[in-house]
Structure formats: C-alpha cells, structure tokens
Amino acid sequence: MKKYLKFFLLLVAVAGAFGYYTYHKPHQNMNNATTQIKLSATQLFSDYQVDETTANEKYLDKVMEISGKIKEVSTDEKGMTTLTLESGDDMFGIICQMDNLTKHNQTNFTEGEKINLKGICTGVLMDVVLVRCVKV
C-alpha cells in the first residue's frame, strides 16, 4: 500500500510541477528561435499585396528572417524601438517592432543600414507587421 501511495504522491508532484512550469512558461527566446522562412522585405511586402490570405497562410505566426534596408527608425516613449524596412512601396513598408524581452547587442540603428531581422509575422494592416524582432 505504501509503495502505491509514494508513487501516487510522486505523480501528483510531477503533474503539479508540469502545470506550474506550463503556466509560467516564458515566451520563446528569439535569439535561439529557429527561422522558419527567409525572405527579403520587398518580397514579403509584395506577397501580401498580391494576396493577403495566401500570404497569411504562409507567414502568419512564423519566425521569419527578413533582409532589407532600414527606411525609418523610431523609438516610443517607453524606449521601444521600431524599424521600418524599405518595401519598394513609397508609403508603406515592413514594420519590425524590436523585442522588449531580449537584450539587444545593437540598439542604435541608422537609416539606409542593411539589416537582417528575425521576428514573428502578425499580418498586414497597411504595412506588414513583425513583432519580437532581433537582429541576426
């Protein structure tokens, strides 16, 4: 009887620990995240212009590595940096919100700089928006 009790308690402890860690599990580490798709900023933008639904099927929620040229750098009042990449379009581009859960090696960016960014695609409004971006 005692053996079964011990085993049962162990099971409860393991289940409890599992539940605790799942509930408190951290967001994925973007530096370690595996790139699922590699694309140029212009290609990504054009894919969304051609067919948003198909582009979403391909890219939504995926960890993407985007290469492009920085069109604009902006920092909001909370210190969060957003880089807009050239898309080939005059008005709209690829917006990359830098990850606020990562300690970035580079925090100063310049317009015109060529850069590779890894982030998660969240879709398109007027620009294509990627969040949790890190420099590759």
Strand partners, 99: none
Among 9, 28, 113, 114, which residue sits at the site for another protein (rule: CB under 8 A)? 28
Query: Is residue 112 involved in binding another protein (CB under 8 A)?
Result: no
Stretch that binds another protein, among 2-10, 38-46, 95-103, 109-117 (CB under 8 A): 95-103
In this chain, which of 33, 63, 73, 131 binds another protein, going by CB under 8 A?
131
Q: Where are the alpha helices (DSSP H) in the chain?
A: 2-23, 41-50, 52-59
Cβ 129 vs Cβ 97: under 8 Å: yes
CA atoms of 101 and 61, how far apart (whole Å): 18
Residue 97 touches another protein, criterion: CB under 8 A? yes
Pair 70, 84: CB distance under 8 Å: yes
Of 91, 103, 108, 110, the one binding another protein (CB under 8 A) is 91
- Strand-pairing partners, residue 119, are 64
Provide the binding-site residues for another protein, judged by CB under 8 A. 22-28, 56, 60-61, 74, 76, 80, 82, 90-91, 95, 97, 100, 120, 122-127, 129, 131
